Chain A
Amino acid sequence: NAGVTQTPKFQVLKTGQSMTLQCAQDMNHNSMYWYRQDPGMGLRLIYYSASEGTTDKGEVPNGYNVSRLNKREFSLRLESAAPSQTSVYFCATSPANTVREYFGPGTRLTVT
C-alpha cells in the first residue's frame, strides 16, 4: 500500500519548457488536490478534483492545467514554465466520507 505517490521527486526546467507532474493513489479516494508551497508560505491550492472526470480551480490556477483521467491518477501540467513556478508541489487525496487530506512526498521544481 503505497498511499500517495508523486513523480518526479525533483525537476529542473528552463523557462518556456513544459512538463507534467504525476500523482497516483491506491487508497480509492474520491478527491485529489494539487498544492504548491513557496518559501515562508503555507500550501496554496492550485486545482482539485472531487471525482473522476471533474476538476476545479483553486486559489492559484494560472499557468497550470490538470487532468483526472481515472480515479487513481491526477496530473498537473505546466505548458510554458516560468521562474515564478519554482516551488514544491504536493498532491493530496481525501476520502468521500470524511474531511482530511493525505499528502504525497512532494516534487521540488526549479525553473531557471
Chain B
Amino acid sequence: AQTVTQSQPEMSVQEAETVTLSCTYDTSENNYYLFWYKQPPSRQMILVIRQEAYKQQNATENRFSVNFQKAAKSFSLKISDSQLGDTAMYFCAPTMNRDDKIIFGKGTRLHILP
C-alpha cells in the first residue's frame, strides 16, 4: 500500500523560530507532485507549497520552503520566522499514482507559542 508518513503528530515552537516538519512517502513513480497543505482551526484547506518531482530545485514561498530528497522519498517543510497565524494542522500530500491522485498524510499539529 502506498503510504505517507508524518512522524511528528504534534510540535510546538516559539514565535519567530524556525521549524521543520518531516514527511516521507513510498512510491514507484518517477514523475509526481508533492504538496503541503495547511488546515487552521477554520478547517479550510490551504495550499502552502507545491513541488514537482522532476525539478531538482526546492520550492519556496516566502517563509515556507521544502527540502525535497527524491532518492530518500523525503519532503520536509521548513517554516522560517514562524508567526502565530502559522498555528494549524499541516498535511503532506504527494501524488503517488499514475492518475495524479493526492494521498494525504495524517498531519502534524503545529502550535506557534507567543
Interface residues of chain A, those whose CB is within 8 Å of chain B, are 40-45, 48, 58, 88, 90, 92, 99-103, 105-106, 108
Asked whether B43 lies within 8 Å of A88 as measured between CB atoms, the reply is: yes
Asked whether A105 lies within 8 Å of B44 as measured between CB atoms, the reply is: yes
Asked whether B104 lies within 8 Å of A106 as measured between CB atoms, the reply is: no
Q: Chain A residue with minimal CB distance to B89?
A: A42
Complex contacts, B110 vs chain A, CB 8 Å:
none
A27-B106 Cα distance, complex, nearest whole Å: 29
Asked whether A42 lies within 8 Å of B93 as measured between CB atoms, the reply is: yes
Asked whether B35 lies within 8 Å of A106 as measured between CB atoms, the reply is: no
Interface residues of chain B, those whose CB is within 8 Å of chain A, are 4, 33, 35, 43-47, 50, 91, 93, 95, 100-102, 104-107
Q: Which of B43, B46, B95, B107 has the most chain A CB within a 10 Å cutoff?
A: B43
Q: Chain A residue with minimal CB distance to B92?
A: A42
Asked whether B106 lies within 8 Å of A42 as measured between CB atoms, the reply is: yes
Sampled A-B contacts (16; CB under 8 Å): A41-B106, A41-B107, A42-B4, A42-B93, A42-B104, A42-B106, A43-B45, A48-B101, A99-B100, A100-B35, A100-B47, A101-B47, A103-B45, A105-B44, A106-B44, A108-B43
A108-B43 Cα distance, complex, nearest whole Å: 10
A101-B33 Cα distance, complex, nearest whole Å: 11
Asked whether A99 lies within 8 Å of B44 as measured between CB atoms, the reply is: no
A88-B105 Cα distance, complex, nearest whole Å: 16
Nearest-Cβ distance from residue A66 to partner chain B, whole angstroms:
15
The verdict on A42 contacting B95 (CB below 8 Å), with A88-B43, A103-B45, A106-B43 known, is no
A102-B93 Cα distance, complex, nearest whole Å: 13
Asked whether A100 lies within 8 Å of B33 as measured between CB atoms, the reply is: yes
Asked whether A99 lies within 8 Å of B95 as measured between CB atoms, the reply is: yes
A105-B43 Cα distance, complex, nearest whole Å: 7
Q: Chain A residue with minimal CB distance to B37?
A: A103
Complex contacts, B33 vs chain A, CB 8 Å:
99-100
A106-B89 Cα distance, complex, nearest whole Å: 15
Asked whether A40 lies within 8 Å of B106 as measured between CB atoms, the reply is: yes
